[in-house]
Amino acid sequence: MPEKIAAQHFNRRISPAEVQILHAAGFGSKTDGFRNLLDLYQELHNMGYRCDVSIRDFFDNMENKFAYLANNR
């Protein structure tokens, strides 16, 4: 079933490992961690990242682009 784009709240069970990630991203706050991860995704998306690409592959590609630009000035 498609998600409702206008939804403002969602309730979801997350694993203990996911809780730790949110706490780390939010300096102890799951809410802040969630918001920080949304901000991070927005920045990555603006840089060209899409979720169908491995994050490691994306950064390897970015590193190669920077190296190419640095060597071809």
Q: Tell me, yes or no, whether 60 lies in a domain.
A: yes
Looking at the domain assignment, is residue 11 inside a domain?
A: no
Q: Which residues of 45-71 are buried (b: 16+ CB within 10 A; e: fewer)?
A: eeeebeeeeeeeeeeeeeeeeeeeeee
From the list 34, 43, 39, 36, the residue with the least C-alpha distance to 14 is: 34
Q: Residue 2 falls within a domain, yes or no?
A: no
The C-alpha atoms of residue 7 and residue 3 are separated, in whole angstroms, by 8
d(CA 66, CA 16): 37
Quote the number of domains for the chain: 1
**What span, in angstroms and rounded, lies between the C-alpha atoms of 15 and 29?**
16
> What pTM was computed for the model?
0.76
Provide the residue range defining the domain that includes 43.
16-71
Chunked mean pLDDT (size 10), the chain, 73 residues: 73 95 97 96 95 94 86 84
